[in-house]
Amino acid sequence: MNVAPTLGTDVSSLPPEGALASLGRPGAGSVAPTPDTDASWSSNCPLCAADGGTLVWRGARLRVIHADEQGFPAFYRVVWNAHVAEFTDLAEHERLRCLQAVALVEQTLREHVRPTKVNLASLGNMVPHLHWHVVARHTWDSHWPAPIWAAPQRPRALQQEAELAACLPALHAALHARLAQWAAEAPAHVHG
Ligand SMILES: [Zn+2]
């Protein structure tokens, strides 16, 4: 059974990039958006056109979305709101804010769903708009211990997935509350 995450055709199911990175190779019939780090908005960028998933929290500079990828119920992305491609396109204080948000999501995942490991990744090969993946991994998941973009190692554990999914309402409420507090406590020039 092929349980690898699949390429979505709409922005609500933004694909994990790794398995599809070859699509972005120059000369390979590329359909990937052209990186445009100078523009504040890119017309062919799905993360400029829409949230990119179920919005958990939005601040002035970044947002956190639930990615809703099959097989990985606790899969989040921290998305920088402005269209920048690389982490080093951000000012230093912005990088700090971005990683603080990533850490906050990771910590909340650890407390609510007790993952075996949290995976952090920033690829952007398919969608070169800065975003960090924050994924709770468990030994029972279909790809463990391989990356989520690799080939599946076993069939999906639907019972465990359902139990994990049942934790999401409380997890999302906690994420929203913590992110809102984090933004409110920030110095005025660096609000989330
Ligand atoms: Zn964009």
Q: Residues 52-99: pLDDT tens digits?
A: 999 999 999 999 999 989 999 999 999 999 999 999 999 999 999 999
Looking at residue 43, its pLDDT comes to 79
> Residue 87 Cα, ligand 1 centroid: separation in angstroms?
13
Tens digit of each residue's pLDDT (9 = 90 or more) over 27-58: 333 344 444 444 566 779 999 999 999 999 99
**69, 94 contact by CB (below 8 A):** no
Q: Is residue 2 part of a domain?
A: no
Q: Is residue 81 part of a domain?
A: yes
Which among 126, 132, 129, 139 has a CA at the least distance from the CA of 100? 132
pLDDT band at 100 (very low <50, low <70, confident <90, very high): very high
> Residue 91 Cα, ligand 1 centroid: separation in angstroms?
17
Q: Is residue 5 part of a domain?
A: no
Tens digit of each residue's pLDDT (9 = 90 or more) over 105-132: 999 999 999 999 999 999 999 999 999 9
Backbone angles phi, psi at 35, to 5 degrees: -55, 135
* Domain housing 126: 12-186
Q: How far apart are CA 28 and CA 10, in angstroms?
A: 22
> Residue 37 Cα, ligand 1 centroid: separation in angstroms?
9
Looking at residue 192, its pLDDT comes to 58
Q: Is residue 133 part of a domain?
A: yes
Task: Compute the chain's Rg from CA coordinates.
Answer: 16
> Residue 113 Cα, ligand 1 centroid: separation in angstroms?
30
What is the separation of C-alpha 109 from the centre of its chain, rounded to a whole number of angstroms?
Answer: 13
Cβ of 75: how many Cβ atoms within 10 Å?
23
User: Can you tell me whether residue 169 is helix, strand or coil?
Assistant: helix
> Residue 79 Cα, ligand 1 centroid: separation in angstroms?
10
Ramachandran bin of 9, using left for φ above 0, alpha for ψ from -120 to 50, beta for the remaining angles? alpha
Q: Is residue 176 part of a domain?
A: yes
Q: Is residue 135 part of a domain?
A: yes
Its pTM stands at: 0.79
> Residue 92 Cα, ligand 1 centroid: separation in angstroms?
20
- The structure tokens 């809102």 sit at 180
Do β-strands 75-80 and 54-58 pair in parallel, antiparallel, or remain unpaired? unpaired
> Residue 1 Cα, ligand 1 centroid: separation in angstroms?
34
Kindly report the CATH number assigned to the domain that includes residue 70.
3.30.428.10
Task: Count up the domains in the chain and report the number.
Answer: 1
User: Can you tell me whether residue 126 is helix, strand or coil?
Assistant: coil
Q: Is residue 77 part of a domain?
A: yes
Q: Is residue 164 part of a domain?
A: yes
